[in-house]
Amino acid sequence: MELKDDARKLTEELGAAINRAIERSFEVADAIERLREAGYEVELQLRLEIGLRPHHGDREDGEIELELTDEDRQTLRKMRIRTDDLEEE
């Protein structure tokens, strides 16, 4: 899908914000430091995919529909982000 310039700029800003949040994370820094102390040099590569689709405003009460893969859930759990309130009933 071709992105409009404004959507592309906003998506890049989101990616940069996520990158800064990870860089500032004490938990990430601590884990990297422990690896270095154990004698390992750390090279961290994260793959971020941002998917966009047009918003049609057809949801009631601000509800959104979020589809998570098992890999998504595992990644969020590793980041200590709870998803149980997002699960389907």
Residue 73: inside a domain: no
Res 34 pLDDT > 90: yes
> How many domains are contained in the chain?
1
More confident residue, 89 or 30: 30
In-domain check, residue 19? yes
In a domain, 78, yes or no: no
Q: Do the domain assignments include residue 50?
A: yes
In a domain, 84, yes or no: no
- Quote the percentage of the chain above a pLDDT of 70: 81
User: For position 89, what pLDDT does the model report?
Assistant: 41
By residue range, what is the domain housing residue 43? 5-63
Indicate whether 30 belongs to any domain.
yes
| Residue 82, domain member (yes or no) | no
CA distance 18 to 12: 10
With pLDDT > 90 as the criterion, what percentage of the chain qualifies?
A: 13
CA angle at 65 for the pair 59 and 68, rounded to the nearest 5°: 170
Q: Find how far residue 35's CA is from the centre of its chain.
A: 23
Q: Would you say residue 40 lies in a domain?
A: yes
If we measure between CA atoms, which residue out of 24, 13, 23 comes closest to residue 44? 23
Return the amino acid letter for 3.
Answer: L
| pTM passes above 0.75 | no
Mean of pLDDT over the chain: 80
Position 72: which residue type? D
